[in-house]
Structure formats: structure tokens, C-alpha cells
């Protein structure tokens, strides 16, 4: 068993030995030293030019770099040039200096294999930086920066590592190295790489396609409808599913085992995952119907909340206490939901008022209506109105009803009206009574 394991790992040992042996050669060490010095020199030249450009044309501090972010709403030609220099100067000057180093090695009759590989990587790096610059100018900077570090930068690093390893060994042969055997099936380095790294890049790539679809449609249609959002999510999951199928085909996964796993998953979905599937289908329904959109205001467990995001599994809402709640889509899809911004944002605000029995009801109604009309946030259509609700224990109860076009300011408007009513009633000598009780004391005649 140990001999078999050593046989599997022999190519890896050979790769390590070749790498260490190559590093021990003086010519290789000289190439590495020349490459490092050339790249540092190229970077210093690029930074010097960039600093002088910024000092002369943009009048900002030395070393201040703002990649992909323009400094005003309508960037000038100088800002575009600054972005171009920030992205392209370092790789271009690095390529120029390394190319000069290669010319020197050739003239001296020395081998320059590592320098040639470095030049190929720098050419790819130039196209990579140019692509990033184009993305920063077209798409939102925050999204580009996010996927730059999650997808594009790791992808370029993998390309560079693959290019360097190609000098030392056969990559295809290395990928066929068997690490372990699982159910008499060999698990190779290529299989492990595809399952981990390959699946990661495929999922992130599918997300990038979804976000690009949403952005382009929002630019064309000036809005993100629920149907488009749902279509983009379905597109992402479809691409992920296709990727998983292709991945299984690439690694040679046994179709019989796949069928067995699918059967087990179907049973699990039927019993243990029905809530997840229900939330998934409910999310698709909510998105296609467009009944909930980001920015809508609704009540969740009796608490007013604003919809932050409608996703495929759950909806994120934010309460007035700035607390986020994750609500399963099935709850919103199958239950009665109170929304204040479905088809009309005009809502009614009720202000109960109690006055003493010595007041004139008509005068009180006139005062309440006058207070409502003077508030700048109260709508005139529909008009405010007042109802006499009944006779309480200590007061005559009225209710002022006003309409506003923003549900989020209901508490503010109600507070303003309460304060204005207090002052208006006091100005007309109308009392707002407090609860009163008559206490009767009975004497004990048995003593």
C-alpha cells in the first residue's frame, strides 16, 4: 500500500526536485534577480510619471491613487487619462524593462527562459488591466471591485502559476496524478482541482453573468422589474446546474452513482427539504408577480418594515429600529401581508383627541381641521376629516384623520399634529381632561 502511494506521488516529488534543482542554478538565480529588479524599476518609473501628472494636471497629493473611481459626476478628459495611467503604466514599463533585460541576455549568449515566461505573463497582465479599466468605466465601481478580487485576480494568478509550472513539468501529466482511490475510482489532482477551484470560478462567473444582465436591462429599461429579477436568478441557477453537469462529465463521475444520489436527493427533498423548496418556488412567484419590491413598506409581525432585498429563498426587511429581519418567502407568499406601498403610497394617519364635556363639538372639529390643513405634509386630496367617536368616562372622544403620501413619516406627522392640537386647544381654552374617578367612602355602622 505504501509503495502504491509512493508511486502515485512520484510526479509530485519529481516536480519539487526539478524546482529546487532549477533554483540552484546560477543562471536561473541571475534571471530571477534581473526580473525582480526590472519589475521594481518599471514600477518606480510608472509611479514617478503618475505623480508628476497628478501634480501638474489634477493638483492632488502625491501617491493618491483612485483606481476606477472618477472624481466628479462628469469626468473630464484628464480624469480618463489619469485612470488609464493608473492602470496601464506599471505593466507597460515593467514589460519594457523586462524586454530590455531579455535582449541583454540574448546578446550575452545566455538562456532567458524565465524572462520569456515573464514577458508572456506581463502581456496577459496588460490585457487584464485594460479589461478591468473598461469594466470600471462601464459598470458600478463597487461591483467591479468586488468581482475583481473574487474572480478576475485569482483567475490571473492561476494563469501565471500554470505558465510557470509549464516550464518545469507536463501539466496534463501532473493532473493525472492519483491522490486516493474512492470506491475503486481514482481521484486525481485534476479531479480535485476541478471540483474545488473549477466549481468556485463557475459559480462566481454565473453570478457575474446574472449581475451584468440585470445592469444592462436596468440601463435599457430604466428599472428592475420583478420578472427581470426572477429571470436573472433562474439564469444563474441554470448556469450553475449546467456547470455541475459538465463538471461531473469532465471528472468521469459514474452515471449509476449519480442516479442513486439523485434518487436519494429526491426523497430528501420530499421529506426534509420541502420548506426550502417551498421558499424557492415562493421567491420565484414573488419576483415574477412584482408584488414586493425593494423599498416597499409592509408590516412584519405587526412592526412596520422596509423591504431591502427580495432573493430566491428569503426577503430581507429593515425595521424602523434599523434591525434587519430575514423573512422566508413562503410566509409572504401564503399569508396575508399588509403593505403600504403596493399600488398607492397614500396612507391615512389617525389622531385621537379627547376634550372636556364643557366644549362645543363644532368648535373642536373646526380647530382640528384647521390644524390639519396647516401642516405642510398633509394632503388636501383626500381632505382631512374629523369624527366624534363617542362619550368616554372623562372626555368627549374625537378622531382626526389625515392623509400623507409617504408611509415612513406617519409617526412624525402624528407627533406634529399632537403638539399643534395641544397648543390650538389651549389657545381656545378647551381642556384636555385626564381620567377622573369618584371615590365613595362608606362608614361601618356595626362598630
* Ranges assigned E (strand) in 157-196: 178-182, 185-188
CATH code: domain of residue 385: 3.30.70.100
Instruction: Please indicate, yes or no, if residue 111 is contained in any of the structural domains.
Output: yes
Q: Do the domain assignments include residue 11?
A: yes
Residue 6 has pLDDT above 50, yes or no: no
Give the pLDDT confidence score for residue 212 in this predicted structure: 84
- Domain finish residue from 175, 204, 239: 175
pLDDT of residue 246: 79
- Within 10 angstroms of residue 291's Cβ, the number of other Cβ atoms is 16
**Domain end point (choices 175, 203, 232):** 175
- As for how many domains the chain has, the answer is 2
**Residue finishing a domain among 130, 160, 175:** 175
Asked if residue 313 belongs to a domain, the reply is: no
What band does 94 get if pLDDT is binned at 50, 70 and 90? confident
Asked whether residue 182 is assigned to any structural domain, the reply reads no
32 assigned to some structural domain = yes
What is the span of the domain harbouring residue 1?
Answer: 1-175
- Write down the mean pLDDT value for the chain: 77
pLDDT band at 403 (very low <50, low <70, confident <90, very high): very high
CA-CA distance, 137 to 132, in Å (whole number)?
9
Give the residue, 336 or 172, on which the prediction is more confident: 336
Q: What is the largest CA-CA distance in the chain?
A: 131
The pLDDT of 302-312, averaged and rounded, is 79
Contact by Cβ (8 Å): 310, 294: yes
C-alpha cell recorded at residue 143? 461591483
3-state secondary structure of 239: helix
Q: How far apart are CA 237 and CA 235, in angstroms?
A: 6
Overall average pLDDT of the 265-294 stretch: 69
The confidence score (pLDDT) of residue 3 equals 43
CA distance 70 to 137: 9
- Reported as a pLDDT band with limits 50, 70 and 90, residue 447 is low
> Of 86 and 351, which is predicted with more confidence?
351
Predicted confidence (pLDDT) at residue 407 exceeds the cutoff of 80: yes
Residue 267 lies in a domain: no
Amino acid at each position: 500500500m505504501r509503495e502504491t502511494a509512493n508511486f502515485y506521488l512520484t510526479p509530485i516529488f519529481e516536480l519539487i526536485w526539478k524546482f529546487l534543482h532549477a533554483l540552484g542554478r546560477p543562471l536561473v538565480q541571475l534571471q530571477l534577480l534581473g526580473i525582480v529588479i526590472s519589475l521594481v524599476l518599471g514600477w518606480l518609473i510608472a509611479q514617478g510619471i503618475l505623480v508628476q501628472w497628478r501634480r501638474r494636471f489634477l493638483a492632488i497629493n502625491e501617491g493618491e491613487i483612485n483606481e476606477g473611481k472618477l472624481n466628479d459626476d462628469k469626468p473630464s478628459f484628464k480624469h480618463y487619462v489619469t485612470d488609464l495611467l493608473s492602470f496601464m503604466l506599471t505593466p507597460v514599463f515593467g514589460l519594457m524593462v523586462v524586454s530590455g533585460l531579455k535582449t541583454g541576455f540574448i546578446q550575452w549568449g545566455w538562456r532567458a527562459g524565465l524572462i520569456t515566461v515573464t514577458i508572456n505573463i506581463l502581456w496577459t497582465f496588460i490585457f487584464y488591466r485594460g479589461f478591468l479599466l473598461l469594466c470600471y468605466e462601464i459598470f458600478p465601481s463597487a461591483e467591479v471591485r468586488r468581482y475583481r478580487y473574487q474572480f478576475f485576480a485569482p483567475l490571473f494568478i492561476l494563469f501565471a502559476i500554470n505558465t510557470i509550472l509549464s516550464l518545469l513539468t507536463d501539466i496534463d501529466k501532473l493532473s493525472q496524478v492519483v491522490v486516493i482511490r474512492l470506491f475503486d475510482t481514482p481521484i486525481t489532482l485534476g479531479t480535485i482541482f476541478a471540483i474545488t477551484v473549477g466549481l468556485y470560478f463557475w459559480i462566481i462567473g454565473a453570478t457575474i453573468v446574472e449581475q451584468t444582465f440585470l445592469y444592462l436591462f436596468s440601463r435599457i429599461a430604466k428599472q428592475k422589474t420583478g420578472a427581470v429579477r426572477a429571470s436573472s436568478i433562474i439564469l444563474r441557477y441554470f448556469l450553475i446546474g449546467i456547470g455541475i453537469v459538465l463538471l461531473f462529465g469532465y471528472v468521469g463521475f459514474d452515471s449509476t452513482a449519480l442516479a442513486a444520489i439523485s434518487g436519494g436527493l429526491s426523497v430528501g427533498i420530499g421529506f426534509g427539504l420541502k420548506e426550502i423548496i417551498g421558499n424557492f418556488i415562493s421567491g420565484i412567484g414573488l419576483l415574477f408577480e412584482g408584488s414586493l419590491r425593494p423599498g416597499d413598506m409592509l408590516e412584519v409581525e405587526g412592526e412596520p418594515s422596509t423591504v431591502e432585498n427580495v432573493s430566491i429563498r428569503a426577503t430581507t426587511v429593515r425595521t424602523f429600529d434599523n434591525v434587519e429581519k430575514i423573512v422566508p418567502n413562503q410566509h409572504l407568499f401564503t399569508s396575508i401581508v399588509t403593505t403600504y406601498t403596493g399600488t398607492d403610497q397614500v396612507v391615512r394617519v389617525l389622531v385621537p383627541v379627547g376634550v372636556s364635556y364643557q366644549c362645543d363639538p363644532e368648535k373642536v372639529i373646526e380647530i382640528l381641521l384647521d390644524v390639519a390643513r396647516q401642516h405642510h405634509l398633509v394632503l388636501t386630496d383626500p381632505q382631512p376629516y374629523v369624527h366624534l367617536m363617542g362619550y368616554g368616562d372623562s372626555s368627549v372622544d374625537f378622531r382626526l384623520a389625515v392623509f400623507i403620501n409617504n408611509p415612513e413619516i406617519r409617526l412624525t406627522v402624528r407627533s406634529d399634529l399632537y403638539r399643534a392640537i395641544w397648543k390650538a386647544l389651549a389657545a381656545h381654552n378647551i381642556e384636555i381632561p385626564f381620567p377622573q374617578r369618584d371615590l365613595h367612602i362608606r362608614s361601618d355602622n356595626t362598630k
